[in-house]
Every structure is written in C-alpha cells, then in structure tokens.
Amino acid sequence: MRFALASALIVVLSLVPPAVLADCPGFIAEIPRGPRLASKTWLGPVTAMEQAEGQVGITYLGHSSFLIQSSQGVGIITDYNDYVAPLVLPDIVTMNNQHDTHHTPRPDPRIRHILRGWALGANPTLHDLRYKDVEVRNVPTHARNFRGAEAGTRAYGNSIFLFNTAGICIAHLGHLHHLLNDVLLSEIGKIDVLMIPIDGMYTMSQEDAIDAMEKLKAPLNMPMHYFGPHTLERFLTKARPRFPVRMSETASIAITRSDLPDRPEILVLPGR
C-alpha cells in the first residue's frame, strides 16, 4: 500500500528564516507514563503500515535512514538514498549530502516533498513544512570537507531535521560533525526522540555524541550510522555509565507520548 499523496505545500528556501514552529512538546517525563514500547515484526521488506491515533511508527532502515509513519498515513524517510529501498513511497524525504549514502541526485519524482539539508550558496537552506498531521523544520549546521583543496569547514553543509507528529518531537542529527552549542540547542528546542550518529569517525566523536544526548535530554535515544557491531558496542560501553540501554528484537516500534521512558535511555534498533 502506498501512502496517499495530497496537494503540495510550500517548502521555504529563503535568505530570511521562516517563522519557526513552536518548540516541540515538553519532556516526556512531565507526562504520566503508560505501557512500554510496542514492537512490530516485519516479515519481509518494509511496507506501509497504519498507525493508531496518537501513535508514531519508527523503523530503522539502516545507516542513517529511518521510516517515520504518522497516524494519518504520512510516510517520511530520513537521509533518503539509493542504497536503502523499502517498499514504501514516502510523502516526505530528507537528505544530507556529505556522502551518497545520505542522499540521491535522482529521488523518485512521485515523492511529494523532497527536503535537501545543505546550502545552495552562501546562505542556509531553511524548511518549514506542514503536511497533514506532520510538521517538519530544519536547523542548519556546518560540516567538514575532507577532500583536497576544498578541505575545511563547509558552511551550512548539514541539517538537523525535526519532525513533530502526534505530540512527539523527533530530531535526526544527520551527519553532524561538531558539538551542539547553546544557539543550536535553543533552535532545536525540546525533543522526545533523538536519532544520533555514533560512528565516532566520519561524524562527531563518540564522546561528543554522548555530550549531545546529555544536553538534549531526549527520553529516547536511537543510535545510527555505526557500520557494524564493534563500533556500536564501543559506543554503548562508553554510554552505559550514564544511560540505561535496551536492545530491541525488531527494527520497528510504535510509540505514543505515554509510552516513552521517564528518564533518558538508549534504544538500539537492529541494523547498522
């Protein structure tokens, strides 16, 4: 089943920042706690799956790509690329272009909203999208160039994408290369689910990733961009003294606000 596509909304690409969405809802710790996370089992390639009212589906597709599904059937794929191909036509895709595993120059033309996270010139690219029961915006960050004469800082070369649906705010840090300063923390606001790169080499260090989790205080932290079990375990060894860790048996979960833990923890979804 493909997601229903509605009429296009405007993606803002402007030198003047768009009106910023109100901060995502407060920390989950402020909300009475409900049942634990419900897991879903995929028997084959990832396909569209309906969510109950007030529920968000999250599936780890691999590397830096997640499928986020709203209760109104909106499908979002983060760091959409040519290497991960779920059997889902998303309504919205986000991309960063540090490597070709984080974007594609040839996105499916049927995708309604294609949000590129890198600057097209000297000024940052800014998005402020509202589509059905989903809001998406980005916080631009700088990136590193490793190649020859272009080595150095690439201004606004990455975006942190923020997704708000069913009262849950999800932050995907993309290919973040540096610590989060007070300005960025203020622009990000309060979040509930953090998708964070933990490879420690191509993005920020693992120590900086843990620092980001401590500063953002998201109740649920999902590692990504770690290539294999050795790097993942190295990160978890460093993080366990400060965060409880849970290992999911399935790559997909369904969550509501009341499902999330009352203190920050790490949830590892199968993948790499």
Neighbours of 75 (CB within 10 A): 24
pLDDT at position 182 is 94
pTM of the model: 0.80
pLDDT digits (tens), the chain, 272 positions: 433 333 332 232 222 333 333 455 433 333 333 333 444 333 234 556 677 788 999 999 988 899 999 999 999 999 988 877 677 899 999 988 766 666 688 888 999 999 988 778 788 899 999 999 999 999 998 766 555 445 556 667 789 999 999 999 999 999 887 889 999 999 999 999 999 998 877 788 999 999 999 999 999 999 998 888 999 999 999 999 999 999 999 999 999 999 999 999 999 999 76
Neighbours of 45 (CB within 10 A): 9
pLDDT at position 49 is 63
Identify the CA nearest to 171 among candidates 125, 123, 117, 232: 117
**Which tokens is 205 given?**
């260090």
pLDDT at position 31 is 30
Identify the CA nearest to 88 among candidates 47, 124, 123: 47
Neighbours of 46 (CB within 10 A): 19
* Residues 64, 39: Cα–Cα separation, whole Å: 20
Angle, vertex CA 2, rays to CA 72 and CA 44, nearest 5? 105
HSE of 143 in the Cβ direction (CA atoms, 13 Å)? 26
Identify the CA nearest to 255 among candidates 163, 168, 132: 168
Q: Which residues pair with 116 in a beta bridge?
A: 95
pLDDT at position 250 is 95
Contact yes or no for 216/194 (Cβ under 8 A): yes
29 φ/ψ angles, rounded to the nearest 5 degrees: -60, -20
* Residues 178, 173: Cα–Cα separation, whole Å: 11
* Chain segment 26-60, per-residue pLDDT in tens: 333 333 333 334 443 332 345 566 777 889 999 99
Query: Does the domain made of 28-268 have the CATH classification 3.60.15.10?
Result: yes
pLDDT at position 64 is 87
Chain-centroid distance of CA 220 in Å reads 12
